Amino acid sequence: MEKCIFFGNLRQLKKNRSFKGYGRIYLGNEFCQRLIPAPAEVKQAVSFAGRRKLRFTLVTPYVTNAGLEKLSAILRALPGKSSIEVVVNDWGVLDLVNREFPRLVPVLGRLLTKQKRSPNLDLLLRRDLVAPGIIPDPNNPSGKYLLLQKKFPPAADFYYQGSNASSVPLLQKFLLSKRIARIELDNLAQGMRLRLPAEGMAASVYLPYVYITTTFFCPTAAAFAQKGCLSRRPACRKQCRQYSFELAHPAFAGRPLYLKGNTQFYRNDRCDRGILKKLGINRIVYAPDLPF
């Protein structure tokens, strides 16, 4: 099992003390084109990795045309090592890598692998929960919950634990034809089912943060917007570098969600490497911080 460590930027990478046990550095951002690093920063990160005999993966977000231009500049600046990977979370970026940078190795990012990540799916897929009805509120002796839980049918497990990229042969064949030989997955709380092709395609799993949703309209930047300003894209001063939020809601049965910048996550530390290996996962990508 290959172990990798994921940083949002060069500053975080350089702050990290030990790379013991890791074979590869991931650097970049999946969710915001405003956080695409400068080409010089990426070149420094590649050198930093090289000096420590670590392989390098550049992580890229979904982008507009302006973001594509920024990425083009970075990809042009990357050295011509065949082991450099580019995680793509946008079909346009995949097209760019394949057409203009064939020396780089594209990897299908977790935004495009289409897992179902709703943070209460593990509860919904459990079969041992009580039937719909009124139950006491454990935190309030006089309170009660009306539980509307209905159990999913067993076949739903395939859907909620699987994904198209990790199971559909025609899609996998297509991805292979586009030089995608690795797909990136989250460590879902409800568990995972993978049906990878017998040869040619591998999978990675990200720990411990599972992404849930993302937006161009950044709730963090909006928190600092002028009152009454309802512009769809509030001015960004990269407040996400400093601030994060913990979001609580009874819907998620005590599991906090985390908002970092424009993206929400939940945390899942439960990970059985033996099971991951059996599933066909041969890489763990560990992000020490919420990925920004």
Partner 1 sequence: MLKIIAPLREKNEVSALIEAGADELYCGYLSREWAKTFTPLEFERKGHRSNFTDLLQLKQAVGLAHKNGVPVFLALNGLYVREQYPLLLKTVRELEQTGLDGYIVADLGLLLTLNKLGTKKELHLSTGATVFNSRAAGFFRDLGVSRIVLDRQTDFDSMREICRDNPGIDFEAFVLFTLCVYIDGFCTFLHAYTAQDRQEAGAGRRGPLRLITTYDPYMPMDACRMKFRARAFKGNRQANRPQPVFYKHLVDSTECGACALYDLARIGIKAVKIVGRQLNSEDRVLGTGFIRRCLDILRDQPGISRRDFNAKVQERYRKSFAYRKKCRGNNCYFPEVLSA
Site for partner 1 in 159-198 (CB under 8 A): 159, 162-165, 167-171, 174, 193, 195
Is 255 near partner 1 (CB under 8 A)? no
**Structure tokens that stand for 271 in this block:** 């990970």
Nearer to partner 1, 77 or 225 (CB): 225
Is 233 near partner 1 (CB under 8 A)? yes
Is 126 near partner 1 (CB under 8 A)? no
Is 253 near partner 1 (CB under 8 A)? yes
**Structure tokens that stand for 224 in this block:** 């600092």
Distance CA 256, CA 119 (A): 9
> Binding residue for partner 1 (CB under 8 A) from 14, 47, 83, 243?
243
Nearer to partner 1, 30 or 85 (CB): 30
Is 95 near partner 1 (CB under 8 A)? yes
Provide φ and ψ at 87, rounded to 5°: -80, 120
With 0-12 / 13-18 / 19 or more C-beta atoms within 10 angstroms meaning exposed / middle / buried, residue 44 is middle
> Bridge-partner residues for 266, per DSSP?
210, 257
DSSP 154-221: TTHHHHHH--STTT-HHHHHHHHHTT--EEEEE--TT-------SSS-EEEEEESEEEEEE-SS-HHH
Nearer to partner 1, 22 or 31 (CB): 31
Nearer to partner 1, 220 or 268 (CB): 220
Buried b (16+ CB within 10 A) or exposed e, 5-22: bbbbbbebbeeeeebeeb
Is 90 near partner 1 (CB under 8 A)? yes
Is 212 near partner 1 (CB under 8 A)? yes
Between the alpha carbon of residue 87 and those of residues 59, 114, 130, the distances in Å are 5, 15, 42
Nearer to partner 1, 44 or 120 (CB): 120
Is 232 near partner 1 (CB under 8 A)? yes
* Residue 208: cis peptide before it, omega within 30 degrees of 0: yes
Binding mask 9-38 for partner 1 (x = CB under 8 A): ------------------------------
Q: Least CB distance from residue 23 to partner 1, whole Å?
A: 29
Q: Least CB distance from residue 231 to partner 1, whole Å?
A: 6
Is 81 near partner 1 (CB under 8 A)? no
> Binding residue for partner 1 (CB under 8 A) from 54, 156, 181, 236?
156
Nearer to partner 1, 9 or 214 (CB): 214
Is 250 near partner 1 (CB under 8 A)? yes
Distance CA 96, CA 90 (A): 10
**Structure tokens that stand for 7 in this block:** 């940083």
Segment lying near partner 1 (by CB under 8 A), choices 18-26, 74-82, 217-225, 275-283: 217-225
Distance CA 205, CA 163 (A): 13
Is 127 near partner 1 (CB under 8 A)? no
> Binding residue for partner 1 (CB under 8 A) from 128, 246, 269, 272?
246
